[in-house]
Every structure is written in structure tokens, then in C-alpha cells.
Amino acid sequence: MKIIRAKDRYHLESDWLSAYWLFSFDHYYDPANVQFGPLRVFNHDWIRGGAGFPTHSHREMEIVTYVLEGVLAHRDSTGGEGLIQAGEVQRMTAGTGIAHSEINADPEAPVRLLQMWVLPSQRGLPPSYEQRQFTREQRTGRLLPIASGQGHPGAVHVHQGTTFYVGHLRTGDHIETRIDAGRRGYLYPIEGELLVNGERLTAGDQARIETPGPLALVGQEESELLFIDLP
């Protein structure tokens, strides 16, 4: 298990965006930190009220957006538009090409989100998107699948054999999962503090796991986490 501490993330600060880029992205390039399996981008963003990303294009990527706080307005070239609320996940398949914008829908309060890009298992897919709301109760004391290409009912569909889970741990909550042979796991504490196989992780740390075996997660305080099971 490789642990990367929060202080070692790349941090971008501008007048409207505070962003942590966990993999090479935009002008930040580290040849030793380009991707983890098919996981190509993992950004933790705070966007000022009324600001955001104007229309821009993507191709051949599965883009998963999970809003933690606030409301994000989405509009794309397929004619789709709407709001992504806190606790909601959106999967956008860029496929053969899509243009979209992402703007904080509130003129004053910030929006906080995770955005993750996964390389698809096949190219040339038609652009599409899907989104779904999940509650804190659904993820409390467990790993809740919110986006998956492995047939988890209730999760939005990702065109890749990977699953995104979220969890809310109370102090003392214990969750058991495992990394199967030929698979890898990526764990990101969003808030709080937890033990991962006895290793202490706090908000913003990363655990990149490539060794098969059990994975024990224990809440040391109220914590939110995201875990990705990857090929």
C-alpha cells in the first residue's frame, strides 16, 4: 500500500478556484504520476460562487462528478442541462466527443466536488450522461456503490470494469472489503480520520493498493471516504 499525504498533492489556487490535482492534469505534469490503472484524473475542487468552467471539450473518457457541498450547474452539447446537488453523482461519457460547462449555481456560496476521469473499456461510444442522488443514511457504516461498470444495482453506469464507492464512518465503525487478484484499490478520505489496515489516514491523504488481500477500514472520528475498485 502506497500512501501519499495530503500535503504532497498538487495545489492550484486562483481567484475563483482552489483545486487539488492528485494526478497529472493541465499544466501539472509528473511522469511518475500520470494514472493508476484506468484512473486518469482525480481532482478535489472548491469553486467560488457564480464561477466555474466555461464550455470545453472531452473525448474518450468516463467522467464521474460527485458533489460534496453546494450545487453545480451542468450544460452540454447533447442538449442536456441540469443541476448536480450535494450527495449526487453524475457520469458523463465523452465518447466520440462532447462539449460541456460546469458552473457554481449559487452566486455566493462555494461548491465543493470530486471529479474523476476513467479511461473507457471501449472507444467510440456515443456521448451520454446519467446522474443519481444518494443519501448520507445510505452510505453510513458501509461502502455504497455510486458508479460502476460491474453491475451494481442503483449505481450510475461506467463503461469500465471499475466501481466507485462512498462511505460515512462514525467513530469505531469497521468496514471489511478486499482487493482481489489482478485488481487494485484507491482510497481517498474526504473528511475525518480512519485506519486502513492499521495505517492512519486523514482528509486529503491517498492510499494506492496493488497487493491482493483484505482491507479493514476503521473510523477514528466522523469520516467521509471514497474508494475505487479498479482493474
DSSP string covering 70-85, please?
SEEEEEETTS-EEEEE
Q: What is the pLDDT of residue 195?
A: 98
Q: What is the pLDDT of residue 90?
A: 97
Q: Which domains does the chain have, with CATH numbers?
A: 10-134 (2.60.120.10), 137-230 (2.60.120.10)
The residues near 32 (Cβ < 8 Å, ≥ 6 apart) are none
Give residue 39's identity as a one-letter amino acid code: L
- pLDDT at 114 exceeding the cut of 90: yes
**The three cell numbers locating residue 190:** 474526504
pTM metric for this prediction: 0.96
Q: What is the pLDDT of residue 172?
A: 96
Tell me what percent of the residues of the chain surpass a pLDDT of 70: 100
Q: What is the pLDDT of residue 78?
A: 87
